[in-house]
């Protein structure tokens, strides 16, 4: 309950004090006597309105209003000395255009508690929706509307996140399918490596046979009959056999070279996919660990 209001340098009131009756207090006076100034000062200390400093008396630097309500004393000051609220012995600053929450809880008022001389009858000129909104504010039902609005916003955000996550899961499945082909390629690569080792061994033997053949050709050029011993004849026959094998292997080598290039290209892609899978260690939805089988 309001007990008293003391104002200083507010509007045309240099100093003024009024005590409120326990029931209804009527303020009577001539025009421009300052009746509205008292109401404005009361609204200023209770709602921190009006803003600015135009209400400060032209012959002063600061304005001050002291309101006694229930067992509390609230002081509102503004001007050159600062911009503050005081509740009993506690001082508040840097509250912007609002009222500090502690003082607001003591006041328990809002715009609906103030009506001016030329205002329309209380709520009778408002639409049904506006009256309903204000009633909700009084009984705190507007909190339900805010909560429902927040839930709808969260649902929309979650739906968007779910859709994005589903797309990510589909992309990961496609990557896993591609990795299956890479595993087979690695197996084929091991086979190609074994074949290449055999080719290298055969090439070494071909070099030896060529060296022996060159020696035979030199003997023929010099009309020297090669010594009739069986190892040379056997080696020559072996050379002809190896030469045919060499021709076949040469073709195989060319095919392997093409296949090796393809394998290297797939290995590069496999490394990139492995790297991507390592980053995504958990499912974005259920947070379970992803089990990715990669060939070693």
Q: What is the CATH number of the domain that holds 57?
A: 3.40.50.300
Q: How do residues 171-222 score in pLDDT, each as one tens digit?
A: 888 877 777 777 777 788 888 888 888 888 888 888 888 888 888 777 777 7
Domain count, the chain: 2
Decide if 294 is inside a domain: no
Q: Hey, what are 242's tokens?
A: 């190896």
User: What's the mean pLDDT when you consider all of the chain?
Assistant: 81
Specify the higher pLDDT residue, 280 or 45. 45
Assign 296 a pLDDT band (cuts: 50, 70, 90).
very low
Assign 69 a pLDDT band (cuts: 50, 70, 90).
very high
Decide if 134 is inside a domain: no
Instruction: Tell me what the mean pLDDT of segment 3-31 comes to.
Output: 90
Q: How many CB atoms lie within 10 A of CB 72?
A: 13
- Asked if 211 and 265 sit in the same domain, the reply is yes
Decide if 28 is inside a domain: yes
Decide if 138 is inside a domain: no
- Asked if 201 and 96 sit in the same domain, the reply is no
**Beta-ladder partners of 87:** 74, 90
For 212, the domain range is 149-279
- Asked if 108 and 227 sit in the same domain, the reply is no
What pTM, to 2 d.p., does this model score?
0.45
Half-sphere exposure of 138 (CA within 13 A, CB side): 9
Q: Hey, what are 292's tokens?
A: 């990715």
Long-range contacts of 182-186 (CB under 8 A, 24+ apart): 182/266, 182/267, 182/269, 182/270, 182/273, 182/295, 183/293, 183/294, 183/295, 185/263, 185/266, 185/267, 185/270, 186/267, 186/270, 186/295
Check whether 254 has a pLDDT greater than 90.
no
- Last residue within a domain, chosen from 65, 99, 119: 119
Nearest partner of 65 among 22, 2, 4, 1, judged by Cα: 4
The C-alpha atoms of residue 40 and residue 35 are separated, in whole angstroms, by 9
Assign 16 a pLDDT band (cuts: 50, 70, 90).
very high
Q: How do residues 106-147 score in pLDDT, each as one tens digit?
A: 988 888 778 777 666 666 667 787 777 777 776 666 677 778
């Amino acid at each position: 309950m309001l007990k008293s209001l003391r104002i200083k340098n507010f509007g045309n009131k240099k100093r003024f004090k009024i005590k409120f009756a326990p029931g209804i207090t009527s303020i009577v006076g001539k025009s421009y006597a300052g009746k509205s100034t008292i109401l404005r000062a009361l609204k200023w200390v209770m709602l921190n309105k009006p803003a600015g400093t135009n209400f400060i008396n032209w012959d002063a630097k600061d304005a001050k209003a002291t309101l006694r309500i229930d067992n509390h004393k609230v002081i509102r000051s503004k001007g050159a000395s600062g911009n503050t609220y005081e509740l009993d012995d506690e001082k508040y600053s840097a509250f912007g255009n609002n009222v500090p929450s502690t003082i607001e809880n003591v006041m328990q008022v809002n715009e609906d508690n103030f009506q001016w001389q030329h205002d329309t009858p209380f709520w009778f000129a408002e639409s049904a929706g506006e009256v309903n909104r204000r009633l909700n504010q009084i009984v705190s039902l507007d909190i339900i509307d805010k909560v429902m609005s927040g839930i709808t916003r969260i649902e929309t955000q979650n739906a968007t996140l779910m859709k994005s996550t589903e797309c990510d899961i589909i992309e990961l499945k496609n990557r896993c399918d591609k990795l299956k082909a890479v595993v087979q390629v690695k197996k084929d690569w091991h086979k190609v490596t074994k074949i290449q080792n055999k080719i290298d061994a055969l090439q070494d033997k071909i070099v030896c046979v060529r060296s022996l053949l060159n020696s035979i050709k030199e003997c023929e050029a010099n009309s020297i009959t090669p010594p009739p011993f069986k190892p040379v004849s056997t080696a020559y026959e072996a050379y002809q056999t190896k030469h045919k094998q060499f021709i076949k292997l040469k073709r195989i080598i060319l095919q392997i070279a093409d296949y090796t290039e393809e394998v290297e290209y797939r290995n590069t892609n496999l490394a990139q996919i492995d790297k991507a899978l390592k980053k995504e260690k958990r499912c974005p939805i259920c947070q379970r660990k992803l089990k990715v089988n990669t060939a070693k």
